[in-house]
């Protein structure tokens, strides 16, 4: 067995799964297309949501192998985005102060920026962790 960093938490994944009929856990594990489908179909008519309860351990393992660990924690970033995204706290946490302030003043850039961040937050954090590691 390969020892991989634990970038994503199963516990946090299950907490997001409670809201999973809106796709939150799928976005968290780096599956934005199915996250969007879950959002518009209420967890693929709740059937997919129930099946995901059993799929979360494998989604967690895939995310751990796909994303880079580092100074910026995925769980904190996703917690801030999920519950305070319109205030831009997740962007400020990643060191993106200017866009964080823009989000704060514009309601998450009129909610479109939040949708963008749901699609790309894992990659943004991986990139930030890569930058920090080389500095």
Count Cα atoms within 13 angstroms, Cβ side, for 17.
20
Give residue-wise pLDDT tens across range 83-103: 999 999 999 999 999 999 999
In this prediction, residue 114 has a pLDDT band, given cuts at 50, 70 and 90, of very high
* Residue 134, pLDDT above cutoff 90: no
pLDDT value at residue 62? 95
User: d(Cα 3, Cα 60) in Å, to the nearest integer?
Assistant: 14
pLDDT value at residue 105? 97
Give residue-wise pLDDT tens across range 26-80: 999 999 999 999 989 998 899 999 999 999 999 999 999 999 999 999 999 999 9
Displacement of CA 70 from its chain's centroid (Å): 15
Q: Which two tokens stand for residue 78?
A: 């996703």
Dihedral through CA 48, CA 54, CA 56, CA 59, nearest 10? -80
Give residue-wise pLDDT tens across range 6-18: 899 999 999 999 9
Q: Structure pTM?
A: 0.89
Check residue 111 and report its DSSP letter.
T
* Residue 1, pLDDT above cutoff 60: no
């Amino acid at each position: 067995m390969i020892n991989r960093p634990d970038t994503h938490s199963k516990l946090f994944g299950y907490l997001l799964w409670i809201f999973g009929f809106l796709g939150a856990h799928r976005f968290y594990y780096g599956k934005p297309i199915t996250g969007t489908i879950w959002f518009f179909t209420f967890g693929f008519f709740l059937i997919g949501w129930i099946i995901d309860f059993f799929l979360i351990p494998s989604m967690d393992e895939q995310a751990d192998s796909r994303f880079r660990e580092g100074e910026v924690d995925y769980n904190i970033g996703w917690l801030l985005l999920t519950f305070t995204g319109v205030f831009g706290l997740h962007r400020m946490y990643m060191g993106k102060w200017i866009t964080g302030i823009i989000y704060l003043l514009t309601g998450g850039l009129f909610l479109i920026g939040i949708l963008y961040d749901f699609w790309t937050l894992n990659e943004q954090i991986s990139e930030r962790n890569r930058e920090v590691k080389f500095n």
